[in-house]
Structure 1
């Protein structure tokens, strides 16, 4: 069974899930991050308490897990970030490569550029391998959600299957529920498969279903329509994947900027936008939009970023008369 996901985090989690819970739990090193809202440094006692809690949580998750089974070599992650940038190419080409490089440009030195290059090269190789395996009659299981990149990935990949003339009987899909209730009765919402822990994947196998020819054709046709429109963004609105303008998410960013004082840490605003609104957009996209606000004179940079840190680890100042 060939497993298809659309993010690196989902790919890594699914690989771990295949054998998660097998054998006796081993207490490996666990890192934790402890922070205070006021920016003060946490005490050693607070860090140690957080580490103990994380270790206990990891042990319980392992002991209650059901291994998914399978081979890690069957898992392919197409992290093309298709919700952003030019999508006019039918196959990942120079335009998609440039979009990935642009998104990763917020990271220091050449780290982002090299990561984008490596990712693009791997996607090209993996796509060829999957095509060859599908041509030999292997089954494919596609994991997707309402996350814009995963929804775009599904529609794009369905077009690939038509191009390859893959029989629909080889294909099944699993959609992540929009919400769930945990063991305490609380509502839990995950933005995409990248937020699913290794010990949770087995629960979703029951949601797997075969695809119908009309579904494959509908997805591929919808993607062709989006390609013709070729707007800067794609977004999932009311469960539908639609073309969208570049400033689509700016109001959410401005809302969190307004909640800050005259000077504020950019990374704090980015973190709040991502966690509070669950929009399915990346930290790099928010950082690039805030970079545009700086160019427009709405914000001003007041601190220098360390060379080994992403560009958004800086302090910004509001130019309130222009916000």
Structure 2
């Protein structure tokens, strides 16, 4: 069976899940991070306690896991970030490369161009291989969620299957639940398959279901409509994947800036928007929208970032008296 995911993290986790829990657990080196809210340094005893707890947690996870089986060569990850930018191309090309370069430009040492090249080349190579295998009759399983990139990847890939004339009986889908209850009766929400640990994947096989040809055709048709609209963003609204303005997430960013003093760490704003609202967007997109606010004169740069850090590691200043109303 061919497994399809839409992020690097999901791809890596799923590959580990194939053999996770197989054989005797091997105690290895585990790193931990311990911090105090008051900034004080943790004691050696605290660090050692945290390390022991982490090792025990890892052992229990291994011993309770059910290996998925299969080969890593059956897993393909298309990390194309299709919720952002131009999607008019039927296959990843120069326009997708430009979008990826733009997104990764916030990172240092010109990493964006290299990353975009690698992602695009691998995606096209993998797409060709998947097409050959699918046309030959192999079964596919697609893992997706309400996270914008994964949902866009899902619709895009359905469009590919429709072009290849793959029939519904070959295709299975697994959608990540919006929430779950853990063994301690706590509500757990995962934003995407990239947040699923290797020992957890087997639990979701029960959600697997087959699709019919008309479903593939319907998804392909909707993706074609989105391609024609070719908006700056795509997002899930009321359960539907729709085109959206580049300003869609601005209110969340503005709200966090408004809660700060006159000067603030941009990286803190980026982190809070991602963590607090769980919008399923990248740090790059938040940084770009803040950059736009700088261009509009709503913010000013106080200190610039160092060359080995992402561009949003700097101090900014709110130059408007009431940012909530901009």
Match status 1:201 vs 2:201: yes
- Distance of 1:28 and 1:35 partners within structure 2: 23
Partner of 1:22: 22
Task: State the Cα distance separating 1:28 from its structure 2 match.
Answer: 2.4
Q: Deviations over 1:246-272 (max 9, x none)?
A: 010000011111122222221211111
1:183-222 correspondence to structure 2 within 5 Å: 183-222=183-222
Q: Indicate the residue corresponding to 2:256 in structure 1.
A: 256
Deviation at 1:37, TM superposition (A): 4.8
1:43 lines up with 2:42 in the alignment: yes
- The alignment yields a C-alpha RMSD, in angstroms, of 1.5
What does residue range 215-234 of structure 1 map to in structure 2 within 5 Å?
A: 215-234=215-234
Q: CA deviation at 1:239?
A: 1.2
Alpha-carbon distance, 1:47 to partner: 4.2
* Structure 2 match to 1:126: 126
TM-score by length of 1: 0.95
Question: Is contact 2:6–2:144 with CA below 8 Å preserved after alignment?
Answer: yes
Contact 1:10 1:194 in 2 (8 A): yes
Q: CA–CA distance in 2 between the matches of 1:267 and 1:197?
A: 26
Change (3 A) 1:31 1:303: farther
List gaps (5 residues or longer) in structure 2.
Answer: none
Q: Distance in 2 between matches of 1:106 and 1:309?
A: 9
1:297–1:322 contact (8 Å) kept in structure 2: no
Count of aligned pairs between the two proteins: 322
Task: Confirm whether residue 182 of structure 1 aligns to residue 182 of structure 2.
Answer: yes
Q: Secondary structure at the match of 1:261?
A: coil
Distance (Å, rounded) in 1 between the aligned partners of 2:270 and 2:40: 20
Q: Bigger CA drift: 26-35 or 61-70? A: 26-35
Query: For the residues of structure 2 that align with 1:47 and 1:108, how far apart are their CA atoms?
Result: 32
Contact 2:35 2:42 in 1 (8 A): no
Q: 2:253 & 2:35 partners in 1: Cα distance?
A: 22
CA 1:279–1:256 in 2, change beyond 3 Å: closer, same or farther? Answer: same
**C-alpha contact 1:10 1:196 (8 A) present in aligned 2:** yes
The equivalent residue for 1:246 is 246
State the 1:30 CA deviation.
2.5
Equivalent pair of 1:10/1:193 in contact (CA under 8 Å) = yes
User: What is the alpha-carbon distance in structure 2 between the residues aligned to residue 311 and residue 35 of structure 1?
Assistant: 25
* Worse overlay, 55-64 or 281-290: 55-64
For 1:312, the equivalent position in structure 2 comes to 312
Q: How does 1:64-79 map to 2 (within 5 A)?
A: 64-79=64-79
Distance across 2 between alignment mates of 1:74 and 1:106: 33
Aligned to 1:295: 295
TM normalised by structure 2 equals 0.95
Alignment of 1:25-174 (within 5 A): 25-37=25-37, 40=39, 42-45=41-44, 46-174=46-174
Deviations 1:95-117 (A, max 9, x none): 01100111011100112221121
| Structure 1: runs of 5+ lacking an equivalent | none
Q: Distance in 1 between matches of 2:33 and 2:191?
A: 22
SS in structure 1 of the partner of residue 303 of structure 2: coil
Distance 2:67 2:174 in 1: 18
Aligned with 1:320: secondary structure?
coil
CA 1:287–1:70: 2 relative to 1, 3 Å: same
* Conservation of the 8 A alpha-carbon contact between 2:167 and 2:212: no
- The verdict on how the C-alpha distance between 1:269 and 1:285 changes in structure 2, with shifts beyond 3 A counting, is same
Looking at structure 1, the residues matched to 258 and 206 of structure 2 have their Cα atoms a distance apart, in angstroms, of 44
2:101–2:112 CA contact under 8 A, matched in 1: yes
Task: Classify the secondary structure of the residue corresponding to 2:316.
Answer: strand
Q: How many angstroms apart in 2 are the aligned matches of 1:186 and 1:19?
A: 28
Q: Specify the SS of the correspondent of 1:260.
A: coil
Alignment CA distance shift 1:34-1:251 (3 Å): farther
